[in-house]
């Protein structure tokens, strides 16, 4: 059975102090190994070290929100895979819709980042998702196929074992508009079939596919309860322990 992963993307939020308090609360409420739920927090770069202090020794994993594909050198403002590993990251989000649509990141760049992260030993949370205009034009699956093919170009099944997919419809991110459970399940089922056709059926049954887009305590259970939904990537509701912990608890309940 696939384990649930509940991941918090803090984006460009928190202060050092509020982030530390949040991480401490999550570490204190972390699921036990037998709960079948993994928890991940992805704070802004400057807070990775203090947050690692709060989560180390707990079942809460640490991730970054992005990474650069070069190993080091004259790349002002960028952060390398080894630097993330050095400060305790096990995961990195790549291809978030804000990087794609605000920073203009392309599938080609995303693919380079995915390769570098896997080669360096990080688990990648690869985000894919359609714009509202794509959905309204009936192009959701074609967009997802393109992002999957681009992001996973030249990546073997063994390498893809270090990837978690996050389906995040752009129109649902930070908007309070959530995909219906049926919309989420349909996209997740499509993504799993894509993975089966690109790799193998067996591998497609193992890969975790998270849903992201206005996940809250009151919709987490029904969304994560869909057969092909293996957890959540949470933005706004990951910034408050009293919202994020009930989402973790919903995953715990579903995996019991
Ligand atoms: C996200 O940033 O990945 C996200 C899903 O945000 P929100 O939960 O706020 O929609």
Q: Kind and range of the H or E element at 152? A: none
pLDDT of residue 247: 98
Instruction: Give the number of the atom of ligand 1 that is nearest the alpha carbon of residue 172.
Output: 10
CA 80 remoteness from chain centre: 19
Q: How confident is the model at residue 78 (pLDDT cuts 50, 70, 90)?
A: very high
- The active-site residue, picked from 96, 98, 130, 185, is 96
Coil vs helix vs strand at 63? strand
Q: Across 65-132, where does the E strand assignment appear?
A: 91-94, 123-128
pLDDT over 90, % of the chain: 96
pLDDT of residue 85: 98
Q: What is the CATH number of the domain that holds 221?
A: 3.20.20.70
pLDDT of residue 31: 83
pLDDT of residue 212: 98
Q: How confident is the model at residue 245 (pLDDT cuts 50, 70, 90)?
A: very high
Average pLDDT in the 177-201 region? 98
Q: Is the pLDDT of residue 33 over 80?
A: no
Average pLDDT in the 119-137 region? 98
Q: How confident is the model at residue 35 (pLDDT cuts 50, 70, 90)?
A: confident
pLDDT of residue 225: 98
**Average pLDDT of the chain, as a whole number:** 97
Number of domains in the chain: 1
CB of 114 closer than 8 Å to CB of 152? yes
What pLDDT digit, counting tens, does each position of 218-237 carry?
Answer: 999 999 999 999 999 999 99
Instruction: Give the number of the atom of ligand 1 that is nearest the alpha carbon of residue 11.
Output: 2
Ligand 1 midpoint to CA 167 (Å): 11
Average pLDDT in the 74-101 region? 98
Ligand 1 midpoint to CA 100 (Å): 14
Alpha-carbon span 50 to 33, nearest angstrom: 24
Burial of 77 (0-12, 13-18, 19+ CB in 10 A): exposed
What pLDDT digit, counting tens, does each position of 130-184 carry?
Answer: 999 999 999 999 999 999 999 999 999 999 999 999 999 999 999 999 999 999 9
pLDDT of residue 164: 98
Average pLDDT in the 185-195 region? 98
Q: Name the closest-CA residue to atom 3, ligand 1.
A: 235
Alpha-carbon span 31 to 154, nearest angstrom: 35
Nearest to 96 by CA among 1, 163, 173: 173
Residues lining ligand 1, Cβ inside 6 A: 9, 11, 168, 173-174, 212-215, 233-237
Determine whether 96 is an active site residue: yes
Q: Is the pLDDT of residue 86 over 90?
A: yes
pLDDT of residue 34: 79
Mutate to test the pocket of ligand 1, among 174, 223, 232, 246 (most ligand atoms within 8 A of CB): 174
Per the structure, the complete domain to which residue 68 belongs is given by 4-255
Average pLDDT in the 176-198 region? 97
Instruction: Give the number of the atom of ligand 1 that is nearest the alpha carbon of residue 237.
Output: 8
Overall pTM > 0.85: yes
- The active-site residue, picked from 38, 168, 185, 188, is 168
pLDDT of residue 45: 98
Nearest to 201 by CA among 154, 168, 157, 231: 157
DSSP code for 45: G
């Amino acid at each position: 059975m696939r384990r649930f992963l509940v991941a918090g993307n803090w984006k460009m939020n928190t202060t050092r102090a509020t982030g530390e308090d949040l991480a401490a609360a999550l570490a204190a409420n972390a699921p036990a190994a037998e709960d079948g739920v993994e928890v991940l927090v992805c704070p802004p770069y400057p807070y990775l070290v203090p947050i690692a202090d709060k989560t180390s020794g707990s079942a809460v994993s640490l991730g970054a929100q992005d990474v650069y594909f070069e190993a080091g050198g004259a790349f002002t403002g960028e952060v390398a895979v080894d630097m993330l590993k050095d400060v305790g990251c096990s995961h990195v989000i790549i291809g978030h819709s804000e990087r794609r649509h605000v920073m203009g990141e392309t599938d080609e760049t995303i693919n380079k980042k995915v390769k570098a992260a896997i080669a360096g030993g990080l688990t990648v949370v690869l985000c894919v998702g359609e714009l509202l205009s794509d959905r309204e034009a009936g192009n959701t699956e074609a967009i997802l196929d393109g992002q999957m093919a681009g992001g996973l170009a030249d990546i073997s099944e063994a390498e893809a074992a270090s990837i978690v997919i996050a389906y995040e419809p752009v129109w649902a991110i930070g908007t309070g508009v959530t995909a219906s459970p049926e919309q989420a399940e349909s996209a997740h089922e499509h993504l799993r079939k894509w993975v089966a056709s690109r790799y193998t059926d067996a591998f497609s049954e193992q890969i975790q596919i998270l849903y992201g887009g206005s996940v809250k305590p009151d919709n987490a259970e029904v969304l994560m309860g869909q057969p092909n939904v293996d957890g959540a990537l949470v933005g706004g509701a990951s910034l408050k322990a009293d919202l994020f912990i009930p989402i973790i608890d919903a995953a715990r309940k579903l995996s019991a």
